[in-house]
Structure 1
Amino acid sequence: MSFWGQLGFQDSYSGLSSELTFFHDHVMFVLVLVSSFVGYMMVCLLKSSLSSRFIVEAQALEAAWTMIPGLLLLTLAIPSVRLLYLLDEVGGPMVSMKAIGHQWYWEYEYGDSSDIVSFDSYMVSGLEMSDGGYRLLEVDNRCVLPYGVDSRVLVSSADVIHAWALPSLGVKADAIPGRINQLGIHLTMSGVVFGQCSEICGVNHSFMPISVESVSPEVFYHWLMG
């Protein structure tokens, strides 16, 4: 989760979030490199007293300043396209969970049609929150997912459009009535991550947080069976 004064991304709890952070760092490196070079050339031109009125063409120079930016764009486009495909990749999930948005809480379902574990997740008010809790982020029932295995989250809504978003996992999907969107998640460590509804859905839009607890597959199995 984020803290006061934080300038960077939240800690990554999934491989996808790490890939997004690496891509951001790569883009920033290229951006700083290009900006520094352009700034240096501008300063040199402003300070230089040399000029030539007889240069009417420079094909080698034109080829260079056309090909070099093109190569730089390729270094951005290739990892960007790769990341776009990773965002849509679900793989072979071992666990499926359904997240259904309501005004203004989340409902979670595990299992198939014959054996479903379902519960609602409401925000814990400040009066009910224990010491050390996070205001506007704590819920009474956290959804639980195992780390080290592929998981799938099916996102939908029962009333208006919501959005199930967790920055620490690098995932966000709109919850649309009558439609199901899916997310692929591969948690890499244990812990608790927080998110919030990211689509304005009414007067209490700010009060329907998302809390996911990452546990080992063994603990997840006992929790689900219990």
Structure 2
Amino acid sequence: MNRACAALAATLCLLFASGAAADQPVPWQLDLQQPVTPIMHEIKWFSHYTLWFIVPITLFVLVLLIWVVLRYRASANPVPSRTSHNTTIEVVWTLGPVLILLFLAIPSFNLLNAQLTMPENPDVTVKATATQWLWSYEYEGLQTPVGFDSYMLQDKDRAGAGKEDRARYPRLLAVDNELVLPVNKTVRMLVTAAPTDVIHAFAMPAFGVKIDAVPGRLNETWFRAEKEGLYYGQCSELCGKDHAFMPIAIRVVSDAQYQAWLGAAGSDLPAANRQLMAATDQPARAVDVASK
């Protein structure tokens, strides 16, 4: 009995642990990914809000089409109506869409304003440079420079990287070097592409971030992750034959873990990553407990 309770408790820890959750696409996903930034919370709310307009309008148009087909088919209406004007109907189909668009425009503009208004004095500034087909990251404003390339993780390299858990490090989304950022800190992202490259796009669905990476142009966006874990995105602009193999992975950790990683990453990035993985990959420990 005690062993069964222990296994159940370990399973619940795996299912509901929030400290090391990873957000990624799932099979048959119908909704957006779970929001972990203030902007993404607003995006998800707006997505659900628009459904209160989209669903009734769709059903109304469907019913109207069925009614027109049945009521005005040739057999039921052999003499077509010659009506060419109806003031009431024209007023309704003019004012109705205007009111609907007004109810959609106000929260939409508020959301756009929140996305495009850069917070003052961000805690972290990172430059992301896109190249066919990888992402390069540089942490700005540090005494000891920290920068690295991030490639999609190959299956043959999983064992050496300690990333054999495909649930946590999924195929085609996991990378060799994740972008490490602190939780509950404002992050300013500078996004561009190599001067001789093509247009890419930096997209992180759980953060509500999607911004073009254009050669010769520096775009910027921001986010503040509210929950630790691993989060996955991808290049979202068709950029060539390996466009599908250009993932983005962000590891959000506590501020103390971030500072420790940052201090070690400048001199030995692989060692800093291994140490951080040992401290943050909590599900592996839960599995060990359950097996005992």
TM norm structure 1: 0.85
Residue correspondence of structure 1 range 1-226 to structure 2 within 5 A = 1-39=24-62, 63-92=91-120, 93-112=122-141, 114-129=143-158, 130-133=163-166, 134-158=170-194, 159-161=196-198, 162-226=200-264
CA-to-aligned-CA distance 1:97-132 (integer Å, 9 cap, x gap):
111112222111113275321111111101222322
Partner residue in 1 for 2:9: none
What are the ranges of 5 or more consecutive residues in structure 1 without an aligned counterpart? none
Contact 1:154/1:182, CA 8 A, preserved across alignment:
yes
% identical equivalent positions: 37
Question: Are residues 225 and 73 of structure 1, via their aligned partners in 2, closer, same or farther at CA, if it must alter by over 3 Å?
Answer: same
Contact 1:90/1:185, CA 8 A, preserved across alignment:
no
Code of the residue aligned with 1:12 in structure 2: it is: P
Code of the residue aligned with 2:103 in structure 1: it is: T
* Secondary structure class of the residue paired with 2:34: coil
Contact 1:99/1:153, CA 8 A, preserved across alignment:
yes
Q: State the Cα distance separating 1:194 from its structure 2 match.
A: 0.7
Q: Which 10-residue stretch deviates more, 22-31 or 155-164?
A: 155-164
Q: State the Cα distance separating 1:12 from its structure 2 match.
A: 1.5
Q: Which 10-residue stretch deviates more, 118-127 or 193-202?
A: 193-202
Q: State the Cα distance separating 1:80 from its structure 2 match.
A: 1.1
Code of the residue aligned with 2:105 in structure 1: it is: A
* Secondary structure class of the residue paired with 2:156: coil
Q: State the Cα distance separating 1:217 from its structure 2 match.
A: 2.1
Distance 2:214 2:85 in 1: 58
Code of the residue aligned with 1:69 in structure 2: it is: P
CA-to-aligned-CA distance 1:5-24 (integer Å, 9 cap, x gap):
11221122212122111111
CA RMSD of aligned residues (A): 2.7
Contact 1:160/1:201, CA 8 A, preserved across alignment:
no
The aligned length equals: 224
Distance 1:70 1:154 in 2: 38
Q: State the Cα distance separating 1:180 from its structure 2 match.
A: 0.7
CA-to-aligned-CA distance 1:181-207 (integer Å, 9 cap, x gap):
111111111111111122233333222
| Structure with greater Cα Rg | 2
- Give the structure with the larger strand fraction: 1
